[in-house]
Structure formats: C-alpha cells, structure tokens
Amino acid sequence: MELRGKKVIALGERDSVPGEAIAEVMRSVGAEVIEVRTECFV
C-alpha cells in the first residue's frame, strides 16, 4: 500500500515500538500523522 499522503494513526506500545517512533517513520514516508498513542499494558 502506498503510504505517501495517507492519514496515519500511530498506535505504539510502551514495551515495544513507541508511538512517536512510528510517527517519525511515517513522516519520512510523506504520510500525515494525525494521532500518536503509546499503549501501556502494565
């Protein structure tokens, strides 16, 4: 799927990849990051 121009909801996880790391990668693709969350299961 072409990600450039898409609106991305980044759902990270505290014990894995955090939301902000996903968001940085998505911005490098040319996607618009519209929400960033980092879930915590602890």
Report the interface residues with other proteins, using CB under 8 A.
1-13, 15-19, 21-22, 24-29, 31, 34-35, 37, 39
What is each CA distance from 29 to 15, 35, 36, 38, 40, in whole angstroms? Answer: 24, 16, 16, 20, 26
In angstroms, what is the minimal distance from the CB of 9 to other proteins? 5
Give min distance, CB of 23 to other proteins, in A.
Answer: 9
Task: Give residue 18's identity as a one-letter amino acid code.
Answer: P
Give the shortest CB-7-to-other proteins separation in angstroms: 5
